[in-house]
């Protein structure tokens, strides 16, 4: 599994959310033109991480405008869930402990 964690330069970072196969994150930052709030690290020897650039995501949204509103709403809903999950973080865990 790949772990998602807040980007905080100079601060030890611990995962607080695991992103499973087919999962994704980062679209809220593109839709609202804000700085990235999470990063990813793949913890699997056989895992794959697909990077979609801001330009490419915006191009897809422009090509399929009929889905743009649904994508934005889904991004906002997932970001609100991320914020609630982060607020519940009481102590640091390794990705192994988090996945257990």
CA atoms of 100 and 85, how far apart (whole Å) = 17
* Per-residue pLDDT tens digits for 46-88: 888 888 889 999 999 999 999 999 999 999 998 898 888 878 8
Closest CA to 42 of 98, 4, 97, 2: 2
The DSSP symbol for 20 reads -
Q: What is the per-residue pLDDT across 85-98, written as a single tens digit (0 to 9) for each? A: 878 877 666 667 76
Would you say 3 and 20 are in contact if contact means Cβ atoms under 8 Å apart? no
Beta bridge partners of 18: 3
Rounded to two decimals, the pTM is 0.64
């Amino acid at each position: 599994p790949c772990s998602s964690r807040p980007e905080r330069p100079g601060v030890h970072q611990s995962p607080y959310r695991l992103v499973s196969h087919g999962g994704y994150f980062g679209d809220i930052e593109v839709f609202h033109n804000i700085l990235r709030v999470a990063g990813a690290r793949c913890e699997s020897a056989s895992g794959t991480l697909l990077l979609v650039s801001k330009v490419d995501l915006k191009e897809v949204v422009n090509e399929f405008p009929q889905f743009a509103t649904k994508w934005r709403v889904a991004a906002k809903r997932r970001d609100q869930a991320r914020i609630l999950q982060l607020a519940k973080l009481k102590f640091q865990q390794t990705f192994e402990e988090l996945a257990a």
